[in-house]
A and B are shown apart, each in its own frame.
Chain A
Amino acid sequence: MTYSPKLIDHYENPRNIGSLDKNDVDVGTGLVGAPACGDVMKLQIKVGADGLIEDAKFKTFGCGSAIASSSLVTEWVKGKTIDEAETIKNTDIAKHLALPPVKIHCSVLAEDAIKAAIADYRAKTAKKEEPVSEGEQVAAPAK
């Protein structure tokens, strides 16, 4: 498979490999794919108090395209709000890396991964903000 220089760069020098503490309330974790398919991505984001993604980490089991797609996504989400991060499209990833047609699905999985991480973060935040059971009224803060 002849890959673009950008893709190869992400494979040789992947950005943000690693793990965040998934039990941390500010961390959202997305785990997508399946070992049987040969593609599994774990993508984690840490959202700061200002609502911006201050850190992102990934680990991927998959081909060069899968690794590059997930590495790129961690680069792109840093400094964005989660609403902005949610708008990342697989077509942008595929274009930036010049993915061959047979590898487009790797970029789709990366888009799924960031959305899964965001969904996880949102679910955690919603739990955190749940009203206390004694009937106390707490105004839902603006997201």
Chain B
Amino acid sequence: MNAFTQIRRNDQPIYLDYQATTPVDPRVLEAMMPYFTYKFGNAHSRSHSYGWEAEEGVEQARAQVAKLIGADEKEIIYTSGATESNNLAIKGVAEFYKDRRNHIVTTVTEHKCVLDTCRHLEQQGFTVTYLPVQKNGLVDLEQLRAAVTDKTVVVSVMAVNNEIGVIQPLAEIGKICRAKGAFFHTDAAQAAGKIPLDVEAMNIDLMSISGHKIYGPKGIGALYVRRRPRVRLVAMINGGGQERGFRSGTLPTPLCVGLGEAAEICMKEMDAEAKRLTKLRDRMLKGLEAKLPEIYVNGDLDQRIPGNLNISFAYVEGESLMMGIKGLSVSSGSACTSASLEPSYVLRALGVDEELAHTSLRIGLGRFTTEQEVDTAVDELVSHVTKLRAMSPLWEMAQEGIDIKSIEWAAH
């Protein structure tokens, strides 16, 4: 019995965009409800039971989050989400240590909030090295080793990429950072709760977590900040000094409780879920490959979270395909789907040809995806890709044996 189907309307399309966001698990919602109702106190109110009850909820959740990543609860700071956590981590250490170290290392495939934060810091006088990635999406450890110097304050590499789902070699990266005395920050928004994470084993100093990626509510996240050896940060939000002075503001108690509950469920169900999603993903990929020639998976298929597929359907543009598959909700790396008309920078960083970037779809499977939904999705995709290929001049040329790369296009 699929719990989600109870809260999903019959007329809604099949949801296959689990990297964009996830529904709140009914068990998480249940855990949150008392804190929206009779346990409404401010967790920082020291003098009465309303405050104590709220504080209890928040602290219990803090421990749940810490357990998920092998940290101590004193090392977990609540934030409004991974974007804030990323900002706080990178700007915070950069600002604190800027007199001694002013270099940052990151990768070209990071989430925009990390890239934009780094650009902002460049304008403040920091130097940033944006490491390229290999064709499979993984960072080259030797290039990383060469880039980290004794002037590097932090190395920021996301644990799992949001577009292609590939998993970076965290333990190896952590080792390199330790050797050079640089902090290792990882944006684990797409990783926490999906793959095992251990801040000790992986030498991680800072880690960003997102609530709404792990079947928790939107508007909450966390930042892990190592205490031994101590990582110092300059806070971005000033005020009453909550969260050990790192992040002032009244805690959104129900959201904190939701994050904690979501983290605990993930921890308990991670292995089983990974197995189930791997089966579903393989079923989808095999189903598509059986009926459609010339489809390509972007990014490493092994070093990847089980719930992600990013596929280029050659000769068919992504937005036109999405318009056709009305019963499915996915996203695309095509320029036509972005407000800036730029194709996905992540796919470009992998060296994917621009035209294949335009033909890509990102399909995300998750906790509530069923086998039937996968089969329906395969049928819809096969049907529409076939129809659009019949309408495509590029498909026609390919069938005629013309090498499309040899043509001189008169583009705008």
Contact = CB atoms under 8 A, between A and B. Distances in A.
B231 interface: no
B319 A40 contact: no
A61 B411 contact: no
Interface stretch (B48-56, B186-194, B385-393): B385-393
Contacts of A36: 353-355, 409, 411
Nearest to B390: A17
A55 to B, nearest CB: 17
Contacts of A14: 391
B320 interface: yes
Contacts of B341: 102
B394 interface: yes
Nearest to B340: A102
A37 interface: yes
A41 interface: yes
Contact of A38 (B339, B355, B404): B355
Contacts of B410: 32, 34
B317 interface: yes
B401 to A, nearest CB: 15
A67 interface: yes
A64 B393 CA distance: 15
B320 A40 contact: no
B165 interface: no
Contacts of A138: none
Interface residues of B, number: 31
Interface residues of A, number: 32
B343 interface: yes
Given A42-B393, A61-B394, A102-B339, A37 B315 contact: no
Interface in A58-80: 59-67
B319 A59 contact: no
Contacts of B392: 59-61
Contacts, number: 88
The secondary-structure label for the interface of chain A is: mixed
Given A37-B411, A105-B412, A108-B412, A19 B396 contact: yes
B336 interface: yes
A132 B335 CA distance: 50
A139 interface: no
B316 interface: yes
Contacts of A65: 336
Contact of B315 (A1, A17, A42, A61): A61
Interface string B98-112: 000000000000000
A92 to B, nearest CB: 19
A35 interface: yes
A67 B391 contact: yes
B83 interface: no
Interface string B302-335: 0000000000000111111001100000000011
Contacts of B323: 3, 8, 11, 63-64
8 contacts: A1-B337, A35-B358, A35-B409, A38-B335, A40-B394, A61-B315, A61-B316, A63-B323
Given A33-B411, A36-B354, A36-B411, 11 more contacts: A17-B391, A36-B409, A37-B335, A38-B335, A38-B355, A39-B317, A60-B393, A61-B394, A66-B320, A102-B341, A108-B412
6 interchain residue pairs of minimum CB distance: A34-B411, A35-B355, A38-B358, A34-B409, A63-B336, A42-B393
Interface of A: 1, 3, 8, 11, 14, 17, 19, 31-42, 59-67, 102, 105, 108-109
Interface of B: 315-320, 323-324, 334-337, 339, 341, 343, 353-355, 358, 390-396, 404, 409-412
